[in-house]
Amino acid sequence: MKKILFAFVVVGSIVACAPKLVTPVSVTEEVTETTEPAPEMNDIASAGKVIFNNDCTKCHSLKVIGNHSKQQWTGILTKMTKMAKLDETQTNQVTQYVFWELEQ
């Protein structure tokens, strides 16, 4: 009986806590919390913006970031950062910039 009661209390407290833990965590908040507390662009994204405006306009006009979803951009960037011959650091910077823009 003690065990059953204990299990009930444990389950009960998980259920009681769950909405508090789950509801405020949206994708946007998760990213802003881990990368930058304020909604301003961080240094990595700022560097990415410069690359995006310079290197990504060599073959075509400036692409509108909002025209593609985050998922689409992941695929596009894999391809385009190679086309633009970006190194690992630059690729990371452009990726951060694109993802930052998508959250605005």
Nearer to ligand HEC, 10 or 90 (CB): 90
Cβ atoms 98, 48 nearer than 8 A: yes
Cβ atoms 63, 56 nearer than 8 A: yes
Rounded to 10°, the helix 70-83/88-102 angle is: 150
Token couple for 91: 């690729």
| Least Cβ distance, residue 67 to ligand HEC (angstroms) | 7
| Least Cβ distance, residue 30 to ligand HEC (angstroms) | 24
Nearer to ligand HEC, 20 or 79 (CB): 79
Q: Which of 62, 70, 77, 54 is nearest to 104 (CA)?
A: 70
| Least Cβ distance, residue 4 to ligand HEC (angstroms) | 57
Question: Where along the sequence are the contacts to ligand HEC (CB under 6 A)?
Answer: 52, 55-56, 58-60, 63, 68, 76, 80-81, 83-84, 86, 94
Token couple for 68: 């593609």
Nearer to ligand HEC, 36 or 63 (CB): 63
